[in-house]
Structure 1
Amino acid sequence: MTTALPTTHLTPTAVSALAARHARASEDAGRLHPEVIAALPATGFARHFVPRLRGGRAGGRAGGFTELVNAVAAVGEACASTAWICALQAGHARLAAHLPEPAQAELWADGPDTAIAAAVVPPSGRLVQVPGGRRLTGRWAWASGADHADWILLATLDDSGAGQPLYRVLALPREDVQVHATWDSVGLRGTGSDTVTVDDVFVPEHRSFLREALMTGVRDADAAPCHRVPYTLVASLLFCAPALGAARGALDAWTALARQRDASGDPGVQQTLARCSAEIDAAQLLLETAAARADRAALTPPAAFEPATAARNQRDAAVAVDMLVGAVERLFRTAGVRALSQDSPLQRAWRDVHAVAAHATLQPGASAAAYATGVFADAGD
């Protein structure tokens, strides 16, 4: 008998209005507005995947994936950059749940709303083995939200052993990491996806784990369901959710512009509205199906997990973001010159969905290859 995943009561409304109000300022600054950052803990995103109370530590909700996707998309309607940070704060806490118990106790010593940033793909830097741990030096790009994080996860190759280098993830407090304002992108401009550097910092042995744990999920029998699923099953899903919200926001902005032009009776406008709204709804169905698949897999013993499930989720996320880009592209082309204004939420959504679609986990070639490999292998059995 399976147990239902817990309700997590995410509250995207706690930040959406602020995110919309400060979207332009966040873009200009290259990071979220301070008022938006201050509102993030109240949203529940950072604690969504934090383990429940254990060992006297203030626990999180160990929530599910379907609710997270919908909540991130709701924030994305107001500001995709804010939604991106919300998704990553949740996702990075799930990664941190793979750390040994003493490290988890440090990360969440003050409560479950610890903001965690990460740069774990690709690995970078170098390690030196020392008594009690390792010393880390290096440079990592695209650490979204690092400037206002409490902790940062960084990945490197550990060649201290006799065999092949090991892909190791380490947790460092924010004060041990230098953040360099290098993020100047066309889309997702407010995410502060800057470069970070570390200069010969000591990391205790207990503050690291191997990437292999991400690929298999936490094997502890007492682990929450959301921690038992592999990274490949859910990574692309979480990255895609902000694009769903941005596309919905684009549709709302386009509809408002059509009303201003008194164009509701134009057959071309009607056809664009029908087609784009259907494509956005279809993309939402794909993502909700993938999220439900992840929630079901979370309740399945790890040994019974089917790799094909991850391939289907990767396929669905890649196809969904492609549909969203196509819909927003069509909306932008038909919106008229008013959509070109820097204050237009439509042009911002147009830039943001393209930026999301450029992420490595959402590339159609890689997802198609993973899915086709499983299909053709099954056919040959």
Structure 2
Amino acid sequence: MNLKEFRAAIGRKDTIAPGAALLRFTAAEAPSVDGEARVATFVFSDNSVDRYGDTIDARGWVLDKFVANPVALFGHDSNSVENVIGKARNVRVDGQRLVGEIEFMEASVNPNAEAVYQMVKGGYLNAVSVGFAPIDWAPTKDKSRPGGVDFKKQELLEISIVPIPANPAALVQARAAGIDVDRLGLIASASEEPPADLAKRRSALLVRKVLGRRTKGLYDLGCLAGLLSELGMLTDWSAWEAEMEGDGSNVPDMLVSILFDLADAFMAMAQEEVSEFLSTYTEEPDLIGMAEADVNYVKQGKSVAARCFRAGRIKMRDIGVVKAGKVISADTEKKVRDAHGHMTQACDILMGLVEPSADVEEKEIVPEAVASDPDKELRVRRAQAMKLRLEIDNSAAA
């Protein structure tokens, strides 16, 4: 029976089965962990009001039967021996809290227990939940908690570490740290690949939102790679800032989640765009005139696109050889040298417009008649530059 069904049956005690098990999640502070002993100390329950408006009186805990078999579970799953992760010990009432320790099994005994322990130790999981059988209770008289129940006496049945409130980003970080998160089934939905059409639509939508246009290609794939690089650096920076400031910021986890989503979109987009690009090569390359060794090299390509690529490499190599060994005529060489000389003179004059060179005599650039007139000097230099430009154009046309 869950708490909702229990509250609905309040006032009709004959409808409540004796020993009905209820669950209560406890969002307590992070546990302290003794790494050498594989033991974590938790607050299992307290007198606080939960989100349903219920309270559990710490003085009413009955612990005898639980202490006789202090099994610790993962996710309240007692049907699978793999989810028995250890044993509770030193369970006791301390003021208004039910506290105690969980000693985790070794990895050689239960790999699931090892995964849960590493996640608790790393701070990825820190919540516990108690399963209990209500013995004495009453509807609350507190008007601020309508429908709430005050449990006055209750028997502890089991204690579980639960994945709530671990968020997807934290689970991704745990996986990146080498913890076998998949074994626990916490992010099965995230690890399973979506249908191809769904992944394609999702990646296309994300890319359009990021790049701001509907069409995309290999150039856009490069842009997306740049965005991923920048986002990765931003994520590292935000994590450093959160650690330095110690403000518990959730921004790094949010950025990690976005980073993984964007990476998924990048991979889907890369596969799509490369496939579309390669699909344009449908005709075999022209091998006429190639040496026998080159022809054999091209034919070793496993697809039309691969063979076209190999043929292109051969042709570019041959073009490079022809260009490197080309001999120009004396007339062409003279024109090239003349053009180079004109361009050198033009550069000297343009540099003189900005800042006259100290090692060039003024009479070589500016006639004495205009030396005292700065405006006229500028006009003369512009005329000289224009004349050289015309000469360069004529040389290029020739």
More relative contact order, 1 or 2 (CA 8 Å, 6+ apart): 1
Give the TM-score normalised by structure 1: 0.25
Give the TM-score normalised by structure 2: 0.24
Larger Rg: 2
